[in-house]
Amino acid sequence: MKKKVIGLIDGQSGNIGSINKAIKDIIKGRPYRLKIIKGHFNHSSFDKIILPGQGAYATLMSNLKKLKIIKPLKEYLENNSSYLGICVGMQILSDWGYEDKITRGLGVISGDIKKFRNKKLIIPHMGWNTINLNNDDTIIANSFDKKDFYFVHSYIFQNIKKSNVLAFTLYGQKFPSIVKKGNIYGVQFHPEKSHRQGLNLIKNYILKA
Amino acid sequence: MLKTRIIPCLDVIKNKVVKGVNFKNIRVMGNAVEMAKYYSLSGADELCMLDINASYQNRKTFIKTVESIAKVINIPLTVGGGVSDLRDITDLLNAGADKVSINSAAVKNPKLIRQASLRHGSQCIVVAIDGKRYKNKMKVVIKGGREITKNELITWAKQVQSLGAGEILMTSMDTDGVQNGFDSNMLKKVTGSVSIPVIASGGVGNLEHFYLGYLTKSTGLLAASVFHSGKYKIKTVKKYLSRKGVPVRI
């Protein structure tokens, strides 16, 4: 049987060690193969792509540009291929990012990434918080309604269509914690740091999405 | 709702968790990797580990220990102790730390905070501050409290925030190791003057102390002895806090 190929993009935005290990553990003994993407790639040779990210929107976009990943990634996403973006890897699906400087994103899910509005909040939003189901989704969101995941971020998805919000979280305001458009998923939290719940989410994505 | 984090702290020499900072009577509490694994499985929200004897030789083993721990846990890991420059920070992040905590080096060279947060992002730079009352003022101390610096505590806390620290790990040297509770007064002053998360550290001896720590508006509560000695399980603490109305992850 032909193995499905999972691409893990190393956008040089934080350590990919935990997510790399999580994926390896999940696909052990299953018909999948993991390939780390560090530069230009052929978008048709991957069945799934995961992009983890930490730090700033502008930094990740400029890293991906330098690594010549933007073009094939856009082609991949335009085909509605299966994708999971984590934290900043989710944020860059938007049209624009407002962190540090205004940066154009991948423009896959319409909306902008802006700072939490409430000035009295402790920022970054750091720690475990609950996700609440907004739209039905048998693959990822349904199983995790009211479960806690680990967040660390100061910016959130705004001006997004309700139909693209799978789950939201409360921190001073409601904000999208899981977004979806077609086969493209994004999570604001870090499943790779969210203990069993997080590993289950990655597993669901890999095996079911 | 954001949950209050319960964070066990491992004081480590090479690959062993040890008790206290008194170098004369070091007691080995257990193997660092085993203990980290245990805490991760038993409900810790994060883990903190500090190299308390960061000599050149010990450092290599310590970094290997960080690598081994990062491989077996999947909760956030903060690593500190003996971090003196950007190179140390990069080494620890590469070894699998999610956040690196800087203490004395930040006091000696505050620019390090800015350089580190620009390079790696604020979210992974924690500034550990040791505070102590001296002549009616709250001062920043280094070298385990043996050296009082010129820095006034609150001014320094505000400064580390403006330099780009993502979090403050606040230890009161007046309460650390005594198990009479966190230094609520000092912690409230700090949480009231910054807008980044503050982890309370130093002094937990019983369950109520955790609750009093929560009331200081610290979003993380760090403890060592009460967990290592087996006095409380993480679940016991969380159940207690939950009954008191504190949001915790159970």
Kindly determine whether residue B94 and residue A15, on different chains, have CB atoms separated by under 8 Å: yes
Across the interface, of A123, A148, A195, the residue whose CB is closest to B195 is A123
| Distance from the B3 Cα atom to the nearest Cα atom in chain A, whole angstroms | 5
pLDDT at B23 over 70: no
Q: What is the pLDDT of residue B143?
A: 85
- Sketch the domain layout of chain A as residue ranges: 4-208
List the domain boundaries for chain B: 5-243
CB contact under 8 A, B75 and A150: yes
Answer yes or no: B88 catalytic.
no
The pLDDT score that the predictor gives to residue B8 is 98
CA B194 from chain centre, in angstroms, equals 17
Would the pLDDT of B56 be above 60? Answer: yes
Tokens standing for residue B127:
């500034």
Q: Give the mean pLDDT of B97-119.
A: 96
Region B191-206: mean pLDDT is 97
For residues B7 and B42, the answer to whether their CB atoms sit within 8 Å is no
Q: What is the DSSP letter of B193?
A: T
Q: Of the candidates A15, A127, A129, which has its C-beta nearest B93's C-beta?
A: A15
pLDDT band of B24, cuts 50, 70, 90: low
Quick one: tokens of B35? 């203990």
pLDDT at B39 over 90: yes
Mutating which of B74, B123, B161 best tests the A interface, going by the most A Cβ atoms within 10 A?
B74
User: Where does the pLDDT of residue B19 fall: very low under 50, low under 70, confident under 90, or very high at 90 and above?
Assistant: confident
How confident is residue A115, by pLDDT bands cut at 50, 70 and 90?
Answer: very high
* Residue B148 pLDDT > 60: yes
Question: What whole-number distance in Å separates Cα of residue A163 and Cα of residue A171?
Answer: 21
Contact across the interface for A56 and B121, Cβ inside 8 Å: yes
pLDDT tens digit sequence for A30-72: 999 999 999 999 999 999 999 998 888 999 999 999 999 999 9
Count CA atoms closer than 13 A to A121's CA, side-chain side: 18
Q: Which CATH class is domain A4-208?
A: alpha beta
pLDDT of residue A1: 74
ipTM: 0.95
What is the band of B119 on the pLDDT scale with cuts at 50, 70, 90? confident
Q: Which of A5-9, A189-193, B25-29 has the lowest mean pLDDT?
A: B25-29
> Residue A83: which residues within 8 A CB-CB, separation 6 or more?
A48, A49, A50, A51, A76, A77, A183, A184, A185
Cis bond before residue A176 (omega within 30° of 0):
no
Joined together, the tokens standing for residue B152 give 């006034």
pLDDT band at A204 (very low <50, low <70, confident <90, very high): very high
B61 DSSP assignment: H
Rounded distance between C-alpha atoms, residue A118 and residue B118, angstroms: 24
Give contacts of A21 with chain B, Cβ < 8 Å: 71
Provide, as residue numbers in chain A, all residues whose Cβ is less than 8 Å from the Cβ of B78: none
pLDDT at res. B22 = 47
What's the gap in Å between the CA of B146 and the closest CA on chain A?
Answer: 32
Question: Which pLDDT does position B27 carry in this prediction?
Answer: 87
Interface residue ranges in chain B relative to chain A, Cβ cutoff 8 Å: 1-5, 40, 45, 70-71, 74-76, 93-94, 96, 98, 120-124, 166-167, 195-197, 219-220, 249
CA distance B106 to B142: 10
pLDDT band at B20 (very low <50, low <70, confident <90, very high): low
Alpha-carbon torsion A52, A57, A61, A64, what sign? Answer: negative
Question: Which of A15, A122, A127 has its CB closest to that of B3?
Answer: A127
DSSP B217: T
Subunit contact B166:A54, Cβ cutoff 8 A = no
- Enumerate the active-site residues of A: 87, 190, 192
Determine the average pLDDT of the residues in A181-194. Answer: 97
Report d(CA B135, CA B40) in Å as an integer.
41
pLDDT at B150 over 70: yes
| Cα B96 from Cα B73, distance rounded (Å) | 10
User: Which residue in the list B88, B130, B174, B183 is annotated as catalytic?
Assistant: B130
| Rounded Cα–Cα distance for residues A96 and A73 (Å) | 17
CATH class of B5-243: alpha beta
The mean predicted confidence, pLDDT, of chain A is 95
Task: Kindly tell me if the per-residue pLDDT of B33 is higher than 50.
Answer: yes
Chain-wide mean pLDDT for chain B? 94
